[in-house]
Amino acid sequence: MKQRGPPLARLTPNQGADPMTLLADSDEWRALRADADALANTTMRALFAEDPKRFARYSVEAAGLFLDYSKNKITDDVLDHLMALAGAAKLEAARQAMTSGQPINATEGRAVLHVALRDFAMRAYHVGGENVSPAVERERARMKAFADRVHAGVHKGFTGKPLTTVVNIGIGGSDLGPLMATEALRPYWIEGRRAHFVSNVDGQHLADTLSQVDPQTTLFIVASKTFTTQETMTNAQSARAWLLSKGAAMGVAESDVSRHFIALSTNEVAVTAFGIDAENMFRFWDWVGGRFSLWSAIGLSIALQVGFSNFERLLRGAHAMDEHFRTAPIRDNMPALMALVGVWNRNFMGCASHAVLPYDQHLHRLAAYLQQAEMESNGKRVTADGAAAPAATCPVIFGEPGTNGQHAFYQLLHQGTDLISADFIAPAFSHADLGDHHQKLLSNFLAQTEALMRGKTRAEAKDDLIAEGKPPQDVERLTPHKVFPGDRPTNSIVMERLTPETLGALIALYEHKIFCQGVLWGVNSFDQWGVELGKVLAKAILPELGAAGEDMALAEAHDASTNGLINRLNAIRAGNGKG
């Protein structure tokens, strides 16, 4: 039952990479639309039944990861047409443009070179004619030297004790990556060390964290590319004040701040103005996007918690995926295939949401990390040249570790009215050697994608109810509730074990997938103008909010809802302490 879209021979290759034409009016796009129509009445079950080699044909291995994408509703024709789409979008040229340091982040005039941060081959990467690799290596060596001094207890706190605790203060890209990776590498934690991550400007986040740490042994890492971010600067100032007040009785001096505070930033002027010694500033560059920065100095909290050699293993794992991405033909290229299958699901199967479902507890922040990586990168409604995007772009990303998600939202994945695609991720071995936990975990991992693909027909549901001995009227009544439509598209990613290397490869896989999808959708994946408006309005509203107990003039400058809410909150806060 081979499904045929228009034969490729009839396709005229799209001359330019203009996404307007490519996505709306190209032969490649039309061919895929025809494929989707032709497959409308075919089930994945049938596709598996007719092709015993489907798994072997639709799977790929790279950098310690194995991707099975056979449980998507694809055929050879679909893949051929996706390859034609990649060709028309000039994906290979775009890949080359990124790694050659061209300013592909055009709205900010920046190169995008996170791959240079993990290239131990010391290949030259040029930005504005300058090879950045020596500076990358220099900064990495400084990070290593600092981590070694902290681990050896040479870099001490103000009472002479070693600094065994880290509080990373950062938000967005300066938080989510290091937090996710530190959690993922829990089996590699250095005994006796602890890392905390404070991001929210909600004072409860900092207060809750500070209540668990000792000023004598805590190193604060202020992680901010710009060193102007409101949340981070507010938290850093409050942490500094806490160190000085909490440490007062123990003899802390203003000059001790420099032992306890270091900065990860691109902004030396602001760092030194804060009172952090330039010696204790670890640099990165404007060609490292925030959400792609865990490989840079921003990863120092990871290195301090797992040791520099494990941090380096993380980078090497990512580099292995980079090499695969850079050199493998698109047809065998794991990130490109994931991107193309993702476009197929988003634009032709109608999946507006995509779930990330790791069957590994240590990956419990992966979905949060990818929410930013994917949605901030490709959640765009205009193409790179400013025209309205002619096709849907990034789906909503969400997820939780399996099996927890199974007992929560999987109901909707199986039987909801929306079709949702998903990535299932699992290591063959767990770091916890506990009875048969891991076989049980894996059996769930496997069963879910099987169930999502196969579903259960009306006849099967009915037979099951009859076999259970239900009376005929109950069989009729219950059957519709027991039907699973199936045909829910999933990828399965497996690896031997979650190690620094496989984690690095996994993150790089998603980074390159995101890049490819940006190229296919024609958006700039590397800016994030959508976060600006709210920031500006918050600045305007701040002076309109009173302190607790303060009476404020009525707000009038906004819409009725915003005015009303400001006034209501001010009224409640003014009543505070006044009974």
Give the residues lining the site for ligand G6Q (CB under 6 A).
Answer: 171-174, 224-226, 229, 232, 289-291, 376, 528
CA dist list (Å): 35 to 139, 317, 491: 50, 36, 20
Shortest reach from residue 133's CB to ligand G6Q, in Å: 23
Rounded Cα gap, residues 267 and 284, in angstroms: 9
Shortest reach from residue 131's CB to ligand G6Q, in Å: 25
Cβ neighbors of 72 (< 8 A, separation 6 or more) are 44, 58, 341, 344, 345, 421, 489, 490, 491
Nearest residue to ligand G6Q on Cβ basis? 172
Strand-pairing partners, residue 420, are 353
Give the nearer residue to ligand G6Q in terms of CB position, either 174 or 361: 174
Give the nearer residue to ligand G6Q in terms of CB position, either 369 or 410: 369
Give the nearer residue to ligand G6Q in terms of CB position, either 39 or 507: 507
Shortest reach from residue 504's CB to ligand G6Q, in Å: 19
Question: No. of H helices and E strands in the chain?
Answer: 23, 13
Give the nearer residue to ligand G6Q in terms of CB position, either 224 or 421: 224
To which residue do tokens 């709306």 refer? 24
The residue among 242, 182, 253, 187 whose CA lies nearest residue 215 is: 242
Give the nearer residue to ligand G6Q in terms of CB position, either 266 or 448: 266
Shortest reach from residue 74's CB to ligand G6Q, in Å: 31
Pairing of strands 194-198, 165-169: parallel
The residue among 421, 397, 410, 488 whose CA lies nearest residue 444 is: 410
The CA-based angle 118-124-127, given to 5 degrees, is 95
Whether 376 is a known active-site residue: answer yes
Give the nearer residue to ligand G6Q in terms of CB position, either 376 or 544: 376
Catalytic entry in 183, 374, 376, 511: 376
Shortest reach from residue 516's CB to ligand G6Q, in Å: 18
Shortest reach from residue 112's CB to ligand G6Q, in Å: 11
Shortest reach from residue 200's CB to ligand G6Q, in Å: 13
Q: DSSP string covering 433-464, please?
A: --TTHHHHHHHHHHHHHHHHHH-B-HHHHHHH
The residue among 221, 78, 77, 96 whose CA lies nearest residue 147 is: 221
The CA-based angle 209-210-212, given to 5 degrees, is 70
Catalytic entry in 407, 437, 440, 539: 407
Pairing of strands 65-68, 490-495: antiparallel
Catalytic entry in 2, 161, 535, 539: 535
State phi, psi for 221 to the nearest 5 degrees: -110, 115
Give the nearer residue to ligand G6Q in terms of CB position, either 112 or 495: 112
Q: What is the CA radius of gyration of the chain?
A: 26
Whether 407 is a known active-site residue: answer yes
Provide the annotated active-site residues. Answer: 376, 407, 535
